Structure 1
Amino acid sequence: MKMHQNIHRDINIEISSLFKLNIFRESKAKLIDQYISVIIKNDQAEKSTQKGTSAVPPFLIFTPNPEQIVLSHTDPHFLAALQSADLLVPDGAGVVTASVLLAAFGKAGSIQERITGIDLLQTILKSFPATKVAIIGGRAPHAAYGVADHLNIDSKSIPWLPAYRDVQSPTAEEEAAVEQFLKSERPEVVFVAFGAPFQEYWSLRHKALLQKYGVRLVLVVGGAVDVLSGRLKRAPKLVRLLGLEWLFRLFQEPWRWKRQLRLGTFIRLTVGELFSTA
């Protein structure tokens, strides 16, 4: 089913409704050029009279892949978190393939392409050089320096805060450090890199705090920071085109093998959607 969603005032986008989620179905270029650019640029002029405070809550972009969609069907809290995002983009070849299959039977709108968190992070940094950004999370030491070096930009333009020793059990001191970081840096865009589902929970839980210090856009990026900083290697382009990036990452992080078993469940969910009467 092809639908439209108002994501920001009078901006309407096309979405595909599948797996109880409304997922962006247009191109990455259109997402950047026609939507994200408006959110960033227009809202820079909409600060309230209180210094640095945004007049509206930050725009949250989450990036579900097949593994996360399976998790959302076993964990109602995570499903609610995904449904609470302002926009969901398809970070997974399986999501795109499932939409194409379901579209052939009139069950969903076909998604044009996979849009990864790592691609969005790179594109935003390159396309909006004057925008103040920050990274929260990521396991690589000096993550921002690695990202900046990879993209050939000034590392000082990307403040980074690892934030927590254990994101599931934050201390009062760590939360105070997060607020101080936002207060001193005043980023307009924040990339959150704790991995799912923690980055989604964190973004929703800190939405008011992010707004307080002028954040306009929040993008969860999972392991993108670890890849760009050099801690992990990204799959070659051919591997990505074949939709096998998950396998390449499994070779680097064998402990993920249990997670990959969810792919079989994702196939069953897709078949279930196909024969659903809803």
Structure 2
Amino acid sequence: MTHPKPTITVDVDVTNPGQFFACCGLLEIADRLWPGAEGWFEDSAFCIDAEGTLSELWCAIVDAELDALDPGDETASPMRLGAPIDLTLDWWKDEHAGGRMLKVWAGSMRGVRIAQSMKAAIANVAKQVSPFDYSAVVYDPDNTKKKVEPFYYDARRGWNAQPIDIGFSPDSLKMISAAYPAVEFMCLVGLQRFRPRQTKQRRVFEYRTWRTPLSPSLAAAVASGVMPLAADVSYRFENAFRTDQKKHKAFLPATPLGASQ
């Protein structure tokens, strides 16, 4: 099959579940900006065929307002990503299709503030050759002296946050380190439509890549394993506890399981 020439290409590590779902978020937004957009994985890249460019996509995200739909709930309020994207983000409220099991933040972590801070940092991401590899200490856009920790969707953060690996929990000591804002925010967007399949093991999930250009609706079915395609590859990862209190979680690196026949 001959693929169209992509107008958007980003480097991706598909064993990083945060990056995988961030790619899904890019496809979601591309299709909202330019209806008919299709995306696919090719070697170590994610490709999108759309009427716009990656630079235009980042600009649309930066320009869109992100507001809490329940201002009284700073921790878990649904959010609205405004024009020109117009997308409601509320998947962590979903108890029926598994969305709630993918929520990583809890306790004093303010979901809306984290999302707004990661989105604001995309203004710097847009200048990068490899946006998913851009890391920085992120600050609250409403208080530029206040540092903000990420959700922990990027598996590079999740792996380093495990108390069992380093002997203590960085979160419990309120340590601040660099985040990957494009991965953190775009993963939040991607999970609205794209969900991994929950396995029989608690907090363990599987997702699939695809090599055929697909619309967001079809790609979401493939990603969850509902509609497997030949040559797509499955990956398994854990949404693991990262603190001793067993409240806060983090996506860990995924293990490849093999390709469909």
- Smaller-chain TM-score bracket: under 0.3
**Structure with greater helix percent:** 1
Q: State the TM-score, normalized to the length of structure 2.
A: 0.24
Compare CA radii of gyration and give the structure with the larger one: 1
